[in-house]
Structure formats: structure tokens, C-alpha cells
Amino acid sequence: MSTASHPNTEPLTSGTELQSDSGQTYQIEEVLADRRKPLLCVYRASAERRNYIVKNMIKGDFDYQLSLQKSLSALPNVRKVIDTVKDLGMLIYPLLSGDLFHLSQKNLSEKTRRYILQKALQGLADMHDKDVLHNDIKPNNILVDYEERPEDGIAIKTVQISDLENAVIVPPGKWLAGSLCGNAIWRSPESWCRSRQNQASDVFSFGIVV
């Protein structure tokens, strides 16, 4: 079993241990997303019988991302950073059991689907109240913690907006311009045109999700 202590150019392997800035030891269980040049991997890790998500940040972007995401930590419908490994440029989050993309393939009741969308929209509205533009709204980034019960079907525990790596602060009256943000399927027209984008662009993407 190895311990990671310096920035890597290759993904971490299963069994690697991470010593976080809080002193917690996390063990890498599997690579969920393997992206390189730059190294932007996503891992499932465990600590004290609980599962977590560990994400690489773009080099030089760690402090900005941590500051921005910490500023949203009081929002119940936005995923929170719970730990860090600064030397490796990693943020650590709780692992939720699913997301809207995969959950929508199940036979959801209209009431359940409406509830998920309402909570997700509340998270997005709370972000916008803090002048944050998400820039990557899509079903995969609406996390849902749930359990399946024989007696009453799917029970929703938590709904949270995730994946804030493209998020930026856009104050009222200001714009983000020149950027091609988000996933092609859910992208707003102004993003496609690399034109002026603001929180309304997120609302357009959310409308496609609905």
C-alpha cells in the first residue's frame, strides 16, 4: 500500500492512501474518471467505513476553487467540500448514492421527480443569490442521495448541485464572455456563441433538464 505525498502525473491506484489536511487518512478504492493533460481524475475513496469523492483540481486553481466552494458551504442543496489535500491539489466530498441522469432511468413518480427538480432549482437559486454562475448544469451534476424501499419505492434523502469546477462569480450587471462552457447537450445559445453569459445561462440549461 502506497501513500501519495507529491503531485502525480498519473492517476492514483487502488489502495493508495491520502493524508488529508484535517489529519484523516483516505484510501483510494477506484478511479471513477481518468482525465489527463491536465490530470483531472475523480476517485472513490473510503475512510472509517464511509465513502467519499476525491477530485483533482487544475494546477493553480485549488485556492480559488476552495474559497468559492467554501463560500457556498451553508447552502443545503449545493455539495460541500469537507476536506482537502492541498499538496496534491485535491478536494474531498461526501459520496451520494446517485444523480438525476441515472435516477431518471428508473420509474420515478411525478411527485418524486418534481421534488428533485424543486430542490435542485433551490440550490441553483441560492448560488445565484451569491452571484455564482455554475456554467455546467446537467442531470449528472444534480446529485441525489436516495434509498429504494419495497413498501413505498424510492425515498429521496438529499438533492445537491455538484461539480463547481467551471463556476465563476458574476456580479449583477456583469458578464462572462468568450468561454465555451458546459456540456454540448445542455449548453445555452450564448455559450455556444461564446457571447455574454450570466446566471440566466444556467437557467436555460436547467430548463433543458426539466
Cα separation of 133 and 15, whole Å? 36
Q: Single out the catalytic residue among 136, 152, 163, 202.
A: 136
Cell numbers for 69, please give them: 466552494
152 annotated active-site: no
Distance CA 10, CA 58 (A): 14
164 CB-side CA count, 13 A: 31
Please state whether beta strands 3-4 and 17-19 pair in parallel, antiparallel, or not at all (unpaired).
parallel
Separation in Å, CA 177 to CA 58, 201, 205: 21, 12, 17
Q: Which of 121, 119, 136 is nearest to 186 (CA)?
A: 136
Q: Which three cell numbers stand for residue 206?
A: 436547467
Whose grid coordinates read 476553487? Answer: 65
- Other C-beta atoms closer than 10 Å to the C-beta of 84 total 20
In this structure, what C-alpha cell is assigned to residue 86?
Answer: 492541498
Degrees (nearest 5) of the Cα angle 56, 128, 165? 10
The catalytic residues are: 136
